[in-house]
Amino acid sequence: MTLTAELADLSARHLYRRRRCCDSAQAPRMQVEGRSLLTFCSNDYLGLAGHPQVVHAFQHAADDFGVGSGASHLINGHSRYHQQLEEALADFVERPRALLFSTGYMANLGVISALAGRGEQILCDRLNHASLIDGARLSGARMRRYRHLDTSDLERLLGSPGADTSQPIALIASDGIFSMDGDCAPVPELVAAAQRAGAWLLIDDAHGLGVTGPGGRGTLASFGLDDQQVPILVGTLGKAFGTFGAFVAGSEALIETLIQRARSYLYTTALPPAVAAASLAALELVQREDWRREQLQALIAQFRQGAAELGLRRLDSNTPIQPLLAGETAQALDWSQRLEAQGLLVPAIRPPTVPQGQARLRISFSANHQPADVERLLDALAGLPDHPSPTETPTPNKAS
């Protein structure tokens, strides 16, 4: 099949994707392709992407360091802002060290390939982010996927005490908060499984850090787990922190090993120093302004109550990620288009991002939304055609 034919096939199956051109900063109200839209789709959960203090920090550092780092961290691209940010992030998540990566995708590829390889196994939640899945594939280890949030299935894959151990378990990997369902991994149970297998445990808390746990320190802090129980923590800066980049936090030995072995760290240009400076400012706001998390939780509760009263088909999530299930791809697209016609931007999420038959609207909230915004969204959702009753909601947590 030619590329043109493949693209036509994607379009026919309602899977063709196109980019939107935005003419304003990230905010609940944005200019998108000439229209003013109320958006419910950003990962800027705390509303920091356009915060004046964050913007000023970026501009000030750019005046000193320019807009590019010029080289990798190991050549001459590692500035004092990078160093300060790594130290501040390590303090924030209460771990000995942190190491910056250019993206969360590169962080997961780097850490997994550095710690696992041929002759070993990696166990992944079936709904893990693509970067974790791709990291496992590229490592050369055998990847095995357990049913979503199903620790009994994980235990089955770990095997009985007398099982074949010719391929030891090198690593168990899971999202902390799942990006499309908004649910939380059973991390304490994963800790027990990893300890039993003598394996690394990696938690990618991209959607938890800044939002959940005491002081916004994330999913692990909400469970009271430390670096001895969860030795590898991956976090991103492009979501609740409102900037760009990612980091891995853990022991001194782990971070030094990644500096020596992680190819996606070694062979790429460092983040611009100005981005690191902006992230430092954002981290200060995350720690200081608890009202942002309180506002966010109030908006989530308002939406969940209203959605329940309307009988909307939603997944059980207490996070800013609130999925509204459509099922078929065409239905999700139709709902998204109807909302956009009313001035609301809620893109449809389709396979392969989500499993077949589970296309959805992924509604996400920011601390900068107002209660009136939530009411407007609920009013629009109430008018969508053919939204099924709660009794028809599937249980993707048990899907294989």
Q: Is 387 one of the annotated active-site residues of the chain? A: no
Residue 152 is a catalytic residue: no
Alpha carbons 228 and 236: distance in angstroms, whole number = 21
State the burial class of residue 98 (Cβ atoms within 10 Å of its Cβ: 0-12, 13-18, 19+): buried
179, 279, 317, 364: which is the annotated catalytic residue?
179
398 is catalytic: no
Chain position carrying tokens 């065409």: 330
Does 355 sit behind a cis peptide bond, omega within 30 degrees of 0 on the bond before it? Answer: no
List the structure tokens of 299.
Answer: 């908006």
* 299 contacts 371 by C-beta, under 8 angstroms: yes
Catalytic residue among 82, 129, 148, 207: 207
d(CA 266, CA 269): 9
Report which of 115, 82, 88 is spatially closest to residue 100, judged by C-alpha positions. Answer: 82
Other C-beta atoms closer than 10 Å to the C-beta of 341 total 9
**Which one from 78, 82, 148, 239 is the annotated catalytic residue?**
239
Task: Quickly count: other Cβ atoms within 10 Å of residue 121's Cβ.
Answer: 22
Catalytic positions: 179, 207, 239
